[in-house]
Amino acid sequence: MMEMTMRFFPTTCMLAMMLVCGAVVPTAAAAGCEFSEASITFDLSNPGAVDPYGDNVTRTLSIPLSDGCGLVWLDYDKRVVLDGMDGSIPASITVTTGSATSSSDRRTIPAGTTVIDLRIDIDLRGDGIPASGSYISTTTFALFDAANGGNRIGALLPLTLSLDVAQVMTLSLTGSGLSGGARVDLGIFEEGVTRTGIDPGLNLTAVSNDPYRIEIDSRHGWRIVNGTDAQYAIPYSLRIDGRTITGNPGTIDRQDATDSGGIDRPLDFTVTPGTRLRAGTYEDEVTITIFGND
């Protein structure tokens, strides 16, 4: 085509031909330079849901480029927010390939680069303790011809980041009143003598990254029962953090999520012995369970 034009047109037309060639022949940077994938979805949770009370999460990711790229600029969002049903988690993206520019959200990528490497840092508690569930964010990357006018080249690359946060709920019973594991000794009682505010030095500690409730269940219906003859029983009541537990099970509901230290609640008891009781050891088994709010 070019030889035919040069043969039949005067020299002045050859200059015009050169201008046309300059417009249609891609530069080294633009010649086929694009992201190799149309989109990328990256699970930041891999290999599993993250602990909301654990360390911040760092992941690495490589974005492939087509062959034939010259000097290009990469534009991207340095800071992103992963949104969930009950909150958000901030994250930052750092491109480790190439060199910095005057813009914090632009990176110079050398000619011949075929892979762009990223580091993604998730600030788990940047907006407070994250609730359990799935979080997601989509951001975009763009390539620009750094050597020839800064025009954008190729299609945008959407990058979707996802993160699963585990539900963490724990209960612990601590204090000087514990003996032999989870046994609590309330002392020695006399017939007909009520004792109130028995403080065995116990604390119930709840840790949860979700709103929660606590259920307290008495095996014998809030009675301590003679170990050898169950017809002999002593009524008692339990208070947790100054609140008398009623019902079986009793409930402490609609509690807010906690930090990693949890919420401490002191326990105390009131025991009401009747008359004509048999001597011996009286026992009850109390089960305390934590649930997420429905």
List pLDDT tens digits, range 230-288. Answer: 999 999 999 999 999 988 899 999 999 999 999 999 999 999 999 889 999 999 999 99
Pair 151, 144: CB distance under 8 Å: yes
Mean pLDDT of the chain: 87
Amino acid at 254: R
Pair 275, 192: CB distance under 8 Å: yes
CB count within 10 Å of CB 143 equals 25
**pTM, two decimal places:** 0.81
Model confidence pLDDT, tens digit, residues 142-185: 999 988 878 999 999 999 999 999 999 999 998 887 876 678 88
CA 224 – CA 184 distance, rounded (Å): 12
Domains of the chain: 28-165 (2.60.40.2040), 169-292 (2.60.40.1090)
Model confidence pLDDT, tens digit, residues 18-59: 333 333 333 444 546 899 999 999 999 988 999 999 999 999
Tokens found for residue 207 = 């840790």
- DSSP bridge pairs for 243: 240
